[in-house]
Amino acid sequence: MLLGIKGDRLPSQPEVEYMVKMLQEDYGNLPIGELDLAFELMVKGKLDENPETYQNFSVLYLSRMMGSYARFMTANYVPIIPEDKQIELPKEDLDLDYIYQIYLKNPVSYEDIFMGLSAFKIIHERKLFEYDATQIYKLTIEAIKNKDKREAKKILADEDRIEILCKRMVVKLYFEQLKTKQ
């Protein structure tokens, strides 16, 4: 044992039972590792109580040790600041050129353009590409109708999906226009 108590000086069974009951009632919310840490800090002299047991581990010693441990933890408490799950990037950091370079390396259908909606937002806000919404809608509907009839019917019944596909169509046309200018 860390405290150096020999066999004949160990607490009696009733004393052990009382200590267990005290720990459960007063410190039941602490994980077992905290109790282990309290003993370790006490033995190393890091707590504000005398670590000497005088060959007598008692309820009083345990109580003093746990009180000292609580003071130590309060004095050394460092709050954990949770990291943001998602960092909001300024518009300037969303690099349209990066999205375009990925598109050039692997031209895909308008539906599958990497970060297509982010690209549309940049194109639209910066007015980089003039388009007629009616014409974009017609092109998108035409592309949908070229799909499997069941899939097309499902898409055509979903207005939100059509709107997203129209935005992606704008991105595709913008990228194709950039490609012809090179």
pLDDT digits (tens, 9 = 90+) for 73-124: 888 887 776 665 554 544 544 578 888 888 888 878 888 887 888 889 888 8
Measured CA to CA, the distance from residue 166 to residue 149 in angstroms comes to 19
Structural element, H or E, at residue 132: none
Residues 166, 140 contacting (CB under 8 angstroms): yes
- The pLDDT tens digits of the residues spanning 155-182 come to 889 999 999 999 999 999 999 998 888 7
The set of residues, in sequence order, having a beta carbon less than 8 Å from that of 155 and lying 6+ positions away, is: 144, 147, 161, 162, 165
Query: What's residue 172's pLDDT?
Result: 92
Please count the residues of the chain. Answer: 182
Query: What's residue 7's pLDDT?
Result: 63
Residues 59, 18 contacting (CB under 8 angstroms): yes
Query: What's residue 1's pLDDT?
Result: 46
Residues 62, 19 contacting (CB under 8 angstroms): yes
- The pLDDT tens digits of the residues spanning 30-88 come to 787 888 888 888 888 889 988 887 777 788 888 888 888 889 888 888 777 666 555 45
Measured CA to CA, the distance from residue 138 to residue 36 in angstroms comes to 71
- Long-range contacts: 69-73, Cβ < 8 Å, 24+? 69/34, 69/37, 69/38, 69/41, 69/42, 71/47, 72/41, 72/46, 72/47, 72/48
Mean pLDDT of 136-163: 90
Query: What's residue 93's pLDDT?
Result: 45
pTM, to two decimals: 0.48
